[in-house]
Amino acid sequence: MKRLINYKDAYQNLKHWLINKGYKVEEVADCRTRDYVGMNDLAAKEMGAKKLQSKTLQVDAWLDWKAKYHTLKHEYVERVKMSKGKRYWDAHQEALEREKYGR
């Protein structure tokens, strides 16, 4: 039997874990993320978007809890990969693969 996930709690727990690791998590209007549902400081820099403070992860404030959770997790994975030298597209693809397999 599949266990139900409380995505509001999962999102809040992930957000607090990231804050404790030194990240800044912002819920913003999608116009701030250039119409993406999420953004991180390294991706923004590579894409020529508005410069974000170091270790900043943004999530579209209008998303539901499940989407916020998955978006925040995606932005974190993407940023970690980019901090280790990956370019945006490669890091993005790896983050999508992790989503696909629930890792």
What is the tens place of the pLDDT at every residue in 40-79? 999 999 988 778 999 999 999 999 999 999 999 999 999 9
Three-state secondary-structure class, residue 26: strand
Mean pLDDT over residues 8-25, rounded?
A: 98
pLDDT of residue 1 exceeding 70, the answer is no
Mean pLDDT over residues 19-43, rounded?
A: 91
Q: How far is residue 37 from each of residues 60, 65, 101, measured CA to CA in Å?
A: 5, 13, 20
Query: According to the model, what pLDDT value does residue 44 have?
Result: 94
Instruction: Say how far apart CA 71 and CA 68 lie, in whole Å.
Output: 5
CB atoms within 10 A of CB 77: 20
pLDDT of residue 8 exceeding 90, the answer is yes
Per the model's pLDDT, the better-predicted residue between 35 and 82 turns out to be 82
38 contacts: CB under 8 Å, gap ≥ 6: 57, 58, 59, 60, 71, 72, 74, 75
Domain residue extents for the chain:
7-100
